[in-house]
């Protein structure tokens, strides 16, 4: 088996964006270290994670939160001519969308593989066509104001939808890792996909675990119900735990999450 490495290339804007790029590098490597991949295999996968652009702004408050973030990352498989684009779009006060697009196989040499221009990331028609949603959350109503850096009030109205199913999650692992997939759990493959755009998630996998489902980040991401994210990730990865009800896992439209 030949492990192919790529060259890192990105368009980064400002110190905050540089910090997010560092998070991507660190978080993706951390996920790989807990798999069964050898050091050489981990390095080959890491070399294929190519952020194409990072544009991030925080709110500048005492308890720093993200304000406006757009990330596009391309991850090439080290074992086959395939890759996955992942795009994160975050807008102030908890509006977050993560989507992905699979190229398997890669376009032939005479076809151009387009990357949306840096200035068109946020509202580009080029995001249509072949993109699949991992999940989407948004604030649809704020009934009373609150300052930046404060926890949203309990009557903030969140809308959320989940897009990835078990077939999708298995395909992500197969495309990214190929024959190396036997050494990588489906959960780690999905979490790896999310970390390629800087989104880190801790997910419970058993009843006796002390930690809870939580989003990890500095600055902080405001995404509504973290338990809802954890439940849906587990379902997509075929993981069930005894203290979780089946009817809690579906998309949670118009939910009051705080």
Nearest partner of 12 among 48, 57, 66, 61, judged by Cα: 57
Contact 88, 71 (CB under 8 A): yes
Which residue bears the tokens 């780690």? Answer: 188
Name the token pair of 189: 């493959």
* Domain contains 103: yes
What pLDDT is attached to residue 141?
Answer: 64
Contact 255, 225 (CB under 8 A): yes
Average pLDDT over residues 239-249: 69
Task: List the beta bridge partners of residue 23.
Answer: none
* Domain contains 7: no
Q: Say if residue 161's pLDDT is above 50.
A: yes
* Domain contains 51: yes
* Region of residue 232 (phi > 0: left; psi between -120 and 50: alpha; otherwise: beta): alpha
Task: Give the count of beta carbons closer than 10 Å to the beta carbon of residue 8.
Answer: 13
What pLDDT is attached to residue 51?
Answer: 94
228 vs 108, residue with greater confidence: 228
Express each pLDDT in 18-60 by its tens digit.
Answer: 889 999 999 999 999 999 999 999 999 999 999 999 988 887 7
3-state secondary structure of 61: coil
Q: Which residues are within 8 A (CB) of 173 and not within 5 positions of it... i.e. 6 or more apart?
A: 181, 184, 186, 189, 190
* Domain contains 2: no
* Domain contains 117: no
Express each pLDDT in 115-131 by its tens digit.
Answer: 655 445 455 544 457 89
Q: pTM for the whole thing?
A: 0.82
Task: List the beta bridge partners of residue 49.
Answer: 75
What pLDDT is attached to residue 41?
Answer: 98
Phi/psi of residue 165, nearest 5 degrees: -110, -175
Q: Say if residue 171's pLDDT is above 60.
A: yes
What integer best gives the mean pLDDT of the chain? 81
Q: Say if residue 135's pLDDT is above 90.
A: yes
Nearest partner of 235 among 210, 208, 204, judged by Cα: 204
* Domain contains 255: no
* Domain contains 235: yes
Express each pLDDT in 180-228 by its tens digit.
Answer: 999 999 999 999 999 999 999 999 988 766 778 999 877 778 888 889 9
Distance CA 22, CA 58 (A): 16
* Sign of the dihedral defined by the CA atoms of residues 206, 207, 209, 215, in that order: positive
- Domain carrying residue 162: 12-108+126-248
* Region of residue 86 (phi > 0: left; psi between -120 and 50: alpha; otherwise: beta): beta
* Domain contains 119: no
pLDDT band for position 173 (50/70/90)?
A: very high
176-to-120, 138, 249 alpha-carbon distances in Å = 27, 29, 26
Q: Say if residue 8's pLDDT is above 50.
A: no
In the chain, the number of structural domains is 1
């Amino acid at each position: 088996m030949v492990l192919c490495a790529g060259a890192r290339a990105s368009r980064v804007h400002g110190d905050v964006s540089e910090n997010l790029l560092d998070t991507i590098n660190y978080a993706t490597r951390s996920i790989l270290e807990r798999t069964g991949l050898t050091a050489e295999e981990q390095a080959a996968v890491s070399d294929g994670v190519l952020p194409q652009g990072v544009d991030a702004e925080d709110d500048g408050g005492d308890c720093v939160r993200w304000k406006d973030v757009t990330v596009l990352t391309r991850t090439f498989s080290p074992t086959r001519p395939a890759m996955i684009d992942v795009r994160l779009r975050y807008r102030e006060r908890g509006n977050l969308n993560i989507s992905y697009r699979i190229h398997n196989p890669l376009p032939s040499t005479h076809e151009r593989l387009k990357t949306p221009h840096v200035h068109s990331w946020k509202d580009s028609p080029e995001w249509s066509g072949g993109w699949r949603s991992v999940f989407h959350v948004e604030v649809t109503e704020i009934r009373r104001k609150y300052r930046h850096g404060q926890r949203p009030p309990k009557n903030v109205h969140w809308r959320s939808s989940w897009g990835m199913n078990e077939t999708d999650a298995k395909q992500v692992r197969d495309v990214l890792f190929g024959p190396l997939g036997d050494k990588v759990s489906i959960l780690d493959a999905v979490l790896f996909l999310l970390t390629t755009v800087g989104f880190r998630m801790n997910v419970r996998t058993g009843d006796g675990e002390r930690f809870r489902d939580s989003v990890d980040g500095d600055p902080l991401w405001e995404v509504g119900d973290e338990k809802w994210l954890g439940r849906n990730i587990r379902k997509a990865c075929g993981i069930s735990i005894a203290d979780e009800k089946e009817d809690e896992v579906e998309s949670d439209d118009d939910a009051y999450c705080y």
